[in-house]
Amino acid sequence: MNAYEVIQLARKHANNGASMQSSAQLCLKDAEELQAQGKCVEARNRAVKSLQYSVGVLHPDYQAADPRRS
């Protein structure tokens, strides 16, 4: 998945009411700002971190986006 796709996925989950929702939202905001600056690798990493906070590492969406699994 590229940065844009991971950000879209993170956006889908960022407001899901998770206990770490505020952290997920902050990471998503960072990812969007980094993408706007053309820093795609960093943007993707922050979006993956957002998913980690919003859905957890065992969720299929996180696993699909995790760069270590690519």
pTM of the complete model: 0.92
CA end-to-end distance (rounded Å), the chain: 8
Estimate to the nearest angstrom the gap between the alpha carbon of 43 and the chain centroid.
Answer: 8
**What single-letter DSSP state applies at residue 68?**
G
pLDDT digits (tens, 9 = 90+) for 9-23: 999 999 998 889 999
Structure tokens that stand for 32 in this block: 């969007």
Q: How far apart are CA 56 and CA 62, in angstroms?
A: 7
- For residues 17, 29, 55, 19, the Cα torsion angle rounded to the nearest 10 degrees is -40
List pLDDT tens digits, range 19-67.
899 999 999 999 999 999 999 999 999 999 999 999 999 999 999 998 7
- Residue 2 has φ and ψ, to the nearest 5°, of -90, 175
